[in-house]
Structure 1
Amino acid sequence: MGKKTKVAIAIAAASAAAWAGSKALSKPQKRESKDALSYEHPVVLAHRGGSHIAPEHTMAAFHKADEIGVDGFEIDIRLTKDEEIVVSHDDYVDRTSDGTGRIADLTLEELRKFNFGYNFVDLDGYLSYRDEFESIVTLRELLNKFPDKFINIDMKDAPDTYEGGLMPSKLWRLIEEMDVADNVVVTSFYDEQIDRFNLYAQNKVALGAGQAEVRKAYTSFTSQFGHLYHPKVDIFQIPEKYGVFSLDNKSFIQFLSDLNIPVHYWTVNDALTMKKLVNIGARGIVTDRPDLAVKVVSL
């Protein structure tokens, strides 16, 4: 046996020993169940209220999605100048121009003057909706109007901004005041924001995965050391693909399911893909077309 062969065998043996040792010492820790995630069938969440059926993040969209029969909404939130939490994806008031002002620089009263019905995307593209005025919606208003809906809340303000620094505590206080901890999931692309929020919530609210947590989980899944992954969140809401990696994977869904973590996919707007994802184990569909998704999930 040559020297190189002996070295290769020694390395392989050491790797196997390390894997076996870590397997014996590390037990996968399931996340504790959250009432917000205790549903018996895959759920349909209207993305921003269902932005292909009415202007996004408006009461027109939320009411229409409710009439269709969705289980809940996927929304984005931002903080105003007077520290009100409003429902909006965009940082600026008007994405159809260069921006008439940042939401963080305007009070709620000032924002009420703008028409938020401008952004309506149907299957043919962007349409004007300015002939029907739609006021900005506060998170408080939405929670009051739809107390029975599951709501996935995405904190959009960056953690290194003034408004982003305030958002986690403001959001927790509102959730606690309105007693809706069992109706919501709180998440952000920024894992730091999720951690900040949980300093206040203390695991009383279901947490969604940020980008870093998704990368960490997928890296663990594709390695031989998946048993070393210990999740910090309760649910994954992910796209079908992340860069070059396909996340619409039955084995990946099962990997997370074994840790008591359901998987929702966004933003899915065709019936065939919805059906495929549900069949491989997806527990939720986030869609601009809730009219299609409700029919698919009910089959």
Structure 2
Amino acid sequence: MRPDDWHLTEDLDGFLARAGDFLRSRPALHTMPLTVTERLRTRRQDAHGAEAPVFGRLEQEGEVRATFYRKPSGLLSLTPLAPEHADTLAARLANLGYSLPGVSADHDTATAFAEAWRRHTGAAPTLREQRLRLYRLGTLTPSDPLPEGRGRVVSEQDREQLILWCREFATDVGEVVSINADSWANTRFADKRFSFWETPDGTPVSMAGVTSMVAGQIRVDPVYTPAHLRGRGYAGAVTVEVSRAALAAGATEVVLFADLANPTSNGLYQRIGYVPVTDFAVYDFS
């Protein structure tokens, strides 16, 4: 392979050995590849074979400039790319015979790659209506007053409630996934730490989860309040609770995604101290 080129591999350890410093250089912007690769590493999943994830890095003058990953049959997930580098990647993947269902990245990168993929394969890209904004925590500013109650860490005794709410959250955001006691361990929620906000009588009314800390960053995900309990400040209270805990644990970056179609959540996160980083988009390919 040429030194200045895209390098593809199924070797997770090898990929991280070469691209880890690049990913850690911008932990907020790179929250997804950091947490996905950490999950794969800690779960000791086999990164080799026909169904292994594929990882890629763009090297120029001996430095990693961009990366991607793709889980089996999943979307291509990219760090920010210039249009010409999106084009060389699309050409490379097309020549290797890859079939991609779509791409996820910051808006400009996703758009550049979608157009490049159309040119090289003829696949028509369709922009999903849902667009996400990445936020990072500036100065945490709790709502005043907070709703009555308190935050507490979810325990094993809360497992049934937690699984129910994660299933409801997934339905709300359009994720096609089975979440029950049997499938829980294989879901993206299983390795997160959760907290509830509960009323003074001990009734849980909202939840928030956080990822493990990687490269000093923790991502808040998901935040969920049942529909009949919304509008009472519970989501803000539990988000403050887990954000404060992340800072206390030593996180230098606390981030989260919000659906741009939901002005309530975007306004809430900004009021408690989160500031926009960039917008993300997903294109599906025909």
Q: Same fold (TM over 0.5)?
A: no
Normalising by structure 1, we get a TM-score of 0.29
Relative to its length, the structure with more strand (as a share) is: 2
Normalising by structure 2, we get a TM-score of 0.30
Relative to its length, the structure with more helix (as a share) is: 1
Larger radius of gyration: 1
